[in-house]
Amino acid sequence: MTRVGTLLLYKIRFFFGPARRGLAMGLNEFAGYGAVALSTLMTGFLATTYGPYPVPFYPGVAFALLGLTLSLFFARETKQYAALEAQISSPHPAEASSQPQTDQPTFLQVFFLTSWKNRALFAASQAGLMKNLNDGVVWGLMPVFLAGKGLPIDQIGIVAALYPGVWGVSQLFTGPLSDRVGRKWMITVGMWFQAIGIGLLVILQGFFGFLGAAVVLGLGAGLVYPTLLAAVSDVARPDWRASALGVYRLWRDGGYAIGGLVSGILADALGIPFAIAVIAALTFLSGVIVAVVMYETLPRKRMHAAPPVHSNTTTHP
């Protein structure tokens, strides 16, 4: 490693390394879900003005093409930074025995470690799955539910946009906050906030009541979304971090599909309010799992929190 490379790495680590990983994740997720909120609001008004098809779909096509262009011509390779970090970092002793023992572990090793063997990664994976499972329910059933309550399309668009809007903006604060107070309890409380927000959709009435439920739901999502990514990145070594994040996102984003199927089946069989209530209860249970199973992953705190683990056994009950 050259001296210039080392200095560059330390500068990067100072701004967006382990000490500010939550900040980096928060900025990234803020950009994404801020855009979701704005586009949701825009398409709601376009649907009100021009009808539900095809005009509201045109911005989506334009955004996809713009994103492809920016990725092709402006995105830069970052693999070299991970390689440099791997040369100067080592896992905490309490976690070392559950880490792959080669520089290039197989995908199956990383898959099982992220999905089950490491208790922090398992807790994060199931929380991510449940977070997007309830998202599938919210995006799939909330517009139908609100329409059934008599809300016009433009008000449904406002409620639907407020949720990712609060979610996106709050991540500017929750990401950096997790760098100070830790990951575990922010994820736990965030899952519980989401459960409360989903439940309030059923309990509250009227436009402003649904706005309040959307705010609570958005705050819960803002607490967990960047923090889960930061927690996975805390535990995974640089040389297999991308694979671990891929496995985590497999579980997390699989929640969309599972949520759509589960909510549809429950709504058809028992009604939309019951389906929403069941998902709220499962989301709360996911927070309990994080509280019981996960250890603190924030590097400067896990020295006192991470229990010993052994490579020949699973690391959670």
Question: What is the model's pLDDT at position 303?
Answer: 57
Q: What is the dihedral angle through the alpha carbons of 237, 240, 241, 242, rounded to the nearest 10 degrees? A: 160
Say which range, 131-140, 171-180, 216-225, has the weakest mean pLDDT: 131-140
Summarize the chain as % helix, strand, coil (round to 5).
Answer: 80, 0, 20
Question: What is the model's pLDDT at position 52?
Answer: 80
Question: What is the model's pLDDT at position 15?
Answer: 53
> With respect to CATH, is domain 3-302 assigned 1.10.3720.10?
no
Is the predicted pLDDT of residue 141 greater than 90, yes or no?
no
Nearest CA-CA partner of 218 in 313, 305, 134: 134
Q: Quote the pTM value.
A: 0.79
Boundaries of every domain in the chain: 3-302
- What does the angle CA 185 – CA 191 – CA 270 come to, to the nearest 5 degrees? 160
Is the predicted pLDDT of residue 94 greater than 60, yes or no?
no
What's the rounded Cα separation, in Å, for the pair 216 and 194? 7
Percent of the chain with pLDDT over 90: 43
What's the rounded Cα separation, in Å, for the pair 121 and 49? 46
DSSP letters of 82-143?
Answer: HHHHHHH----HHHHTTS-SSSS--HHHHHHIIIIISHHHHHHHHHHHHHHHHHHHHHHHHH
Question: What is the model's pLDDT at position 48?
Answer: 83
- State mean pLDDT over 249-274: 88
Tell me which of 275 and 251 has the higher pLDDT.
251
Q: Which of helix, strand or coil describes residue 51?
A: coil
- State mean pLDDT over 130-139: 88
Is the predicted pLDDT of residue 125 greater than 90, yes or no?
yes
- State mean pLDDT over 258-278: 86
Is the predicted pLDDT of residue 10 greater than 70, yes or no?
no
Nearest CA-CA partner of 282 in 119, 131, 136, 111: 131
Distances (CA, A) of 288 to 120, 123, 195, 307: 13, 10, 11, 19
Question: What is the model's pLDDT at position 178?
Answer: 94
Nearest CA-CA partner of 34 in 161, 157, 154, 134: 161
Is the predicted pLDDT of residue 195 greater than 60, yes or no?
yes
Nearest CA-CA partner of 197 in 174, 214, 209: 214
What integer best gives the mean pLDDT of the chain?
A: 83
Confidence of residue 100 (pLDDT cuts 50, 70, 90): low
What's the rounded Cα separation, in Å, for the pair 42 and 23? 28
